[in-house]
Amino acid sequence: MDDTLLLVDKPVGFSSFQIVRLLQRKYLKVGHAGTLDPFASGLLIMLPNQATRQFENIQVMEKEYTGEIVLGVSTDTYDITGSLTEPVRAMNSLLDLEGYNGMAQRFIGEIKQVPPRFSALKWKGQRMYKLSRQKKEITMKPRNVIIKSFQIEKVDPPILTFKSVVGKGVYMRSLAHDFGKAAGCGASLLSLRRTRIGKYRVSTASTLGDILRIVSC
């Protein structure tokens, strides 16, 4: 743990903002660098008090993830928590580990990625997830992002286990969605865990229990 930063291993089911609210019981000011969806777990860097000045530096650090993609399932959120946008599809052909990694290679480097409609990004001044819940028509423009590595580590149809290192602004849900389109059967993110941000690793992070003890002191 850094002297000025607080590393947290966020559990599944909690939002990043809920962790902020917990720490606000102890610190006058709390920020965080790199939001994690409630269904995801892993490293969340909290910035208490003067550490908020480091926000910009941390935002540009590369991030490492592990997770699972489920093939044949397409949802409006691009993850397993969303509503189906089409019936579950069977895969036309099953590839082996080498075959799926060949497909994953297409996404390595600087690519164009469209963010999920259900995200905290703003569109015309409003949060996209709020507009999406209201069934508003949104036309999202693709953004240039960098995928440094994308490795399929295990094939257990219809689930693929992966590891990836990405640059700023990458949505792993969009990567899973786009991978499913390339596979011809659709896909959604089944699970996600952030294991590293720059030099900071989840193995050195505080648990939720640690955080509760910190705020109760």
Pick from 1-5, 23-27, 194-198 the range whose average pLDDT is largest.
194-198
**Does the pLDDT at position 38 exceed 80?**
yes
The domains of the chain, with CATH numbers, are 6-60+198-216 (no CATH), 63-196 (3.30.2350.10)
% the chain with pLDDT above 70: 88
- The C-alpha angle with vertex 165 and arms to 164 and 170, in degrees rounded to 5, equals 95
Catalytic residues: 37
Q: How far is CA 185 from CA 50, 79, 178, in A?
A: 48, 15, 11
SS3 84: strand
DSSP 118: S
Percent of the chain surpassing pLDDT 90: 68
Mean pLDDT lowest for which of 4-8, 55-59, 129-133, 191-195?
A: 129-133
Q: What's the pTM value of the predicted model, to 2 decimals? A: 0.89
Rounded to an integer, the average pLDDT of 165-175 is 96
Length of the chain: 217
Which residues on neighbouring strands pair with residue 163, listed in sequence order? 66, 151
Please give the Cα distance from 9 to 194 (Å, whole number).
9
What is the C-alpha to C-alpha distance for residues 170 and 96, in angstroms, rounded to an integer? Answer: 26
